[in-house]
Amino acid sequence: MHCEGKGVAKVDFDEANKWFHRAAAKGNARGQHHLGIAHEYGSGVTKDLREAARWYSLAATQGLAESNYHLGLMKAHGRGFAQDLSGAAIHFQKGAQQRHAPSMMYLGKMFLYGQGFPVDYDMALLWFEKAAEEGASPLSDEAAAARDELRASLLEAQRVNKELVAGYDYGLIAEQS
């Protein structure tokens, strides 16, 4: 409420963080996650990416998909960590296993652009479609890009196949002459 200004006179990050600390101290994953957000963006506290990662890790250990997603983003972009695409992928996969649409979207992007995985348009499309099933809305551009890349790859494979067949047929004709 305090961090969003709902039911209170104004947004009060100090008050919100006080309540998040109380919840986090009792092992509440949501409280831990919100403290991660506060430290990542400097909302009512000094911005501290290592502290953000610590809070996210505590919540992620309890299975909070959103915290795995935030850890994945931090590792993918080298925020508070050295860039680690493999580590990021692990966190996105954990979130995706819990049907967290943003984690699924990011996995799709990683497969689409070959970040942490070899480029795989089929896998990219699969993750984009799963994210859409979970209600992800900014899907169309990424899915369209994956489909276009997949279509272009198939057309190129068909062209190469035709050339190989034509070359093979030409070789047989030349041998018979």
Residues 6+ apart with CB under 8 A from 76: 83, 84, 85, 88, 106, 110, 115, 116
Residue type, position 36, single letter: G
pLDDT at 85: 97
Residues 89 and 7 in one domain: no
- Asked if residue 76 is part of any domain, the answer here is no
Query: Residue 144 phi/psi, 5° resolution?
Result: -65, -40
Range of the domain at 153: 84-177
pTM of the model: 0.74
Residues 37 and 111 in one domain: no
CATH number, residue 168: 1.25.40.10
Here the tokens at position 11 are 């947004």
Residues 109 and 56 in one domain: no
- Look at the block and give the residue holding tokens 């819990």: 98
How many alpha carbons fall within 13 Å on the CB side of residue 77? 9
Residue 113 CB burial class (10 angstroms; 0-12, 13-18, ≥19) = middle
- Stretch 143-171: mean pLDDT: 72
Q: What is the tens place of the pLDDT at every residue in 44-75?
A: 999 999 999 999 999 999 999 999 999 999 99
